Amino acid sequence: DTEVTQTPKHLVMGMTNKKSLKCEQHMGHRAMYWYKQKAKKPPELMFVYSYEKLSINESVPSRFSPECPNSSLLNLHLHALQPEDSALYLCASSQDGTRTEAFFGQGTRLTVV
Amino acid sequence: QKEVEQDPGPLSVPEGAIVSLNCTYSNSAFQYFMWYRQYSRKGPELLMYTYSSGNKEDGRFTAQVDKSSKYISLFIRDSQPSDSATYLCAMWRTGRRALTFGSGTRLQVQP
């Protein structure tokens, strides 16, 4: 099983709302990632968790707050987003974050109104 | 200059054609390579993973790596309309715990 599950699939939120994106994998992977993807662009790295510790934050605005409650789960908390934050948010995982295959979820399509 | 260069296309071919997709990279620290297929509004799907120079085959797909030239390719034989998607190359660089992506090539296979 190489599945990374993301919920919800679609999310519409107002600029004053607080919402969370969730990601789950059961492959025993110890590295998990959040990416943001705009139309016709490649995925853009936001955060990397390695062994449940935040190892990379690509200077993401504080209105995005990641959380890794355990080795299988990854959350992205959203607050006071802007319309330009509308995008496909992708979660991915890999065994050790250095050389092995990386698997992506199907993404959450976020629209900020 | 980007670390990984990939022609964005679009690339349009007739059904049954052999497709060649390519990426070049500038840093020899890139050692592990992947190809993803991404349909519109979906997450990237891993097609191939390679780390050695040479060829790796899986069904209609062949991944080729030439580390001396810093060049990787994905060949699709007997292309089908269902292969119409964006193809992304991605690679791990020693010392960085994150993938570096090419910009993606949009492929259209005409019936």
Which percentage of chain B shows pLDDT scores above 70?
100
Tell me which chain A residue has its CA closest to the CA of residue B91.
A99
CA distances, A40 to each of A85, B9, B60 (Å): 15, 11, 26
Query: What would the pLDDT profile of B68-79 be if each residue is shown by its tens digit?
Result: 999 999 999 999
- Higher-confidence position of A99 and B101: B101
Q: What integer pLDDT is reported at residue A69 of this predicted model?
A: 96
Q: What integer pLDDT is reported at residue B96 of this predicted model?
A: 83
Q: What integer pLDDT is reported at residue B8 of this predicted model?
A: 85
In the three-class reduction of DSSP (H, G, I as helix; E, B as strand; rest coil), residue A84 is classed as helix
CB contact under 8 A, B46 and A103: yes
Q: How confident is the model at residue B9 (pLDDT cuts 50, 70, 90)?
A: confident
Query: Residue A80 has what DSSP assignment?
Result: S
Q: How confident is the model at residue B95 (pLDDT cuts 50, 70, 90)?
A: confident
CB contact under 8 A, A42 and B46: no
- Residue-wise pLDDT tens for chain A (113 aa)? 779 999 999 999 999 999 999 999 999 999 999 999 999 999 999 999 999 999 999 999 999 999 999 999 999 999 999 999 999 999 999 998 788 899 999 999 999 99
CB contact under 8 A, B41 and A102: no
Q: What integer pLDDT is reported at residue B1 of this predicted model?
A: 79
Peptide bond into B10 cis (omega under 30): yes
The residue to which tokens 């987003």 are assigned:
A81
- Residue length, chain B? 111
> Given A40, A48, A107, which is nearest B97 (Cβ)?
A48
Q: How confident is the model at residue B97 (pLDDT cuts 50, 70, 90)?
A: confident
B46 chain-A contacts, CB cut-off 8 A:
2, 101-104
B49 chain-A contacts, CB cut-off 8 A:
100-101
Is A38 in contact with A46 (CB distance < 8 Å)? no
Query: What would the pLDDT profile of B27-78 be if each residue is shown by its tens digit?
Result: 999 999 999 999 999 999 999 999 989 999 999 999 999 999 999 999 999 9
Among B85, B64, B58, B77, which residue's Cα sits nearest to residue B18?
Answer: B77
Q: Return phi, psi of residue A83, to 5°.
A: -55, -30
